[in-house]
Structure 1
């Protein structure tokens, strides 16, 4: 009987029949985009199922509080599912198919991956991994007891007049809730006006869910496979990005998986990456280059800025954290993907009362050449993006370079140029 390792090596040999030891930058970009499901792929089944499939494939979708346009988690999913609705997340949480926890940041994760959050939770609970709030064990017990007795509660249900203190300027009970959440005693059962509603973990989890703690080998291999499926190519530092205490586990998993033929190594220029053998198939698939995507700053494709620079030659800084007088591109710039490249960035804000999408500045990359075709693709997506943000018109204030123009109002009837 053939062993798994031997079969893996046979499969790897099949995928490597072209003896590719390196990829061109263009091939690497294509592989990454198709792995990220960008541009927006055609989806089958219900719209909600497509949303769940996107979360399961990506592994996480980052949550962010900035709301100058539609929030980041909705924006990221909109770019993977053309039929996406913001209600999908609420429904998937209610159906216990998605939950909130920490990836590299606060995120929505697929419930099927729940057990792989346990190593972090146990490390925090045992004190092996630090959390940003100090533990007040007595207060944590009191808070947990109230939720056990009264049912799901929000932070505002505790100490409405309590003083905020500490470097985080949060109420003690809020800190207790977050500690219990990070340690795994509590989960977020839903959100109300974006406020977290906390409940006991056992009341949130599906009864049939596997809640066994993975071994170190299982956890390391999980992190490798999850990253490579969603991103196509990856380095050790990328797979462990902001995930504390995982580098030794992932490094060990990479060594074993490479020896067993479960992964391969590939060079892109001077950089060496790991790749799943089956990912080579993506190089034979077409990449839709006509479709344009306006991306969130927190999109999974972009979240590691060094990687984005190395693979796409796109240096990106979210300038909302930069003093106004030092900003170059604007407060909340959205990278624009077209023709398989990151070709522009758009500083945007929604006026929700007037339902106007303001583009304060649209900046084209110097490498962008075919601006007329780009303008057509941009206009087509802009209409959809406007609807996604519940707007009825778009006001463009400035373009860089200033010579870039939308020449015909009849071609762009919804776009008002100042």
Structure 2
């Protein structure tokens, strides 16, 4: 199979955004397609990271609409590379819970932790998960262990606070599974490819921060079972692909022009920064924990995707009291990107509506790299 950098880029965008421009996709369909969405509590622009992921893909999405996935029992939380929202039907959900439940059972802690948790509920404890001196309290240890084992269900309220409930129907038959660690590694490797299309060994390893030997062994197993193929080489590196994606290479030539999107810093399409730099020619990082004087893009700058390119970032903040959307800075890769400014300004106006603000200020503060 012959492909180039442009093919790699277009296939990734097709996998991530498909035909979302024209079709009315539902929340559960987007989550099912992506396999996971990273959760984060930062809300300097009212919309949290998970809201931004859905906003860029779901027509007429409103802030906190994703909470309906909890209410409808369509999604749960799992710790992958970070805290993530995962479809309840996901195999990684079952595999991870199987592993953690098995560890709890082997350590004879299941009954002990369940008894403790029920005592918290009886006492009216809020189970706030507040940490003291950066250490886990006894409550934290109990709730975290039961949650990771799939025995606790978590839902969220509009302030991103947790609500816990017991899952009492855990099946012991799950513990009969063999080679559970290998199955989890295989599942994560497949999810990586489902998200980015054509990928190198390093792309796959870095997507979920897997170990080199885990990826090597997993790729070997998946090649043998024909769940994975070597697509070919580009710039002297092997690229892997899912068999069902091979026919999409030609289809990418017909991909629609992508309207201007403001992406979450944790969006599935850009979460592997080395690949983002290599394929999209954009060296980006979240600078919330960078000293202000050393920031290039801004505190919570969102990458701007338009017409198959990451053209720069936009850093915004809301003043909820005054109902103002403050555009702190627009950073473009070069002056050639000025041709997209009208699209960016239109998207800022749409974002103002999305965040329920009434006025925009400072949207002319433009910086070039």
Alignment of 1:12-411 (within 5 A): 19-20=1-2, 23-37=3-17, 40-44=20-24, 50-69=26-45, 70-113=47-90, 114-118=93-97, 120-122=99-101, 125=104, 140=113, 143-146=116-119, 154-156=126-128, 165-166=132-133, 168-169=134-135, 171-191=137-157, 193-202=159-168, 215-216=178-179, 218-241=183-206, 248=213, 250-265=215-230, 266-283=232-249, 284-285=251-252, 286-289=254-257, 291-366=259-334, 369=336, 371-372=338-339, 374-396=340-362, 398-401=365-368
Contact 1:119 1:213 in 2 (8 A): no
TM-score (norm 2): 0.84
Distance 1:227 1:180 in 2: 27
Distance 2:177 2:146 in 1: 21
Contact 1:72 1:298 in 2 (8 A): yes
Residue 43 (structure 1) shift: 2.6
Decide whether aligned partners of structure 1 residues 388 and 124 sit closer, same or farther in structure 2, where only a CA change above 3 A counts.
farther
Residue 215 (structure 1) shift: 4.2
Distance 2:205 2:98 in 1: 14
The 3-state SS of whatever aligns with 2:23 is: coil
Decide whether aligned partners of structure 1 residues 89 and 221 sit closer, same or farther in structure 2, where only a CA change above 3 A counts.
same
**TM-superposition CA deviations, 1:370-403 (whole Å, max 9, x none):** 523x12221232222222211222212521149x
The 3-state SS of whatever aligns with 1:350 is: strand
TM-score (norm 1): 0.75
Larger Rg: 1
The 3-state SS of whatever aligns with 2:267 is: coil
Residue 137 (structure 1) shift: 9.3
C-alpha RMSD of matched pairs (Å): 3.3
Contact 1:79 1:293 in 2 (8 A): yes
Deviating more after overlay: 349-358 vs 253-262: 253-262
Deviating more after overlay: 188-197 vs 99-108: 188-197
Unaligned runs of 5+ in 2: none
Deviating more after overlay: 275-284 vs 317-326: 275-284
Residue 349 (structure 1) shift: 0.8
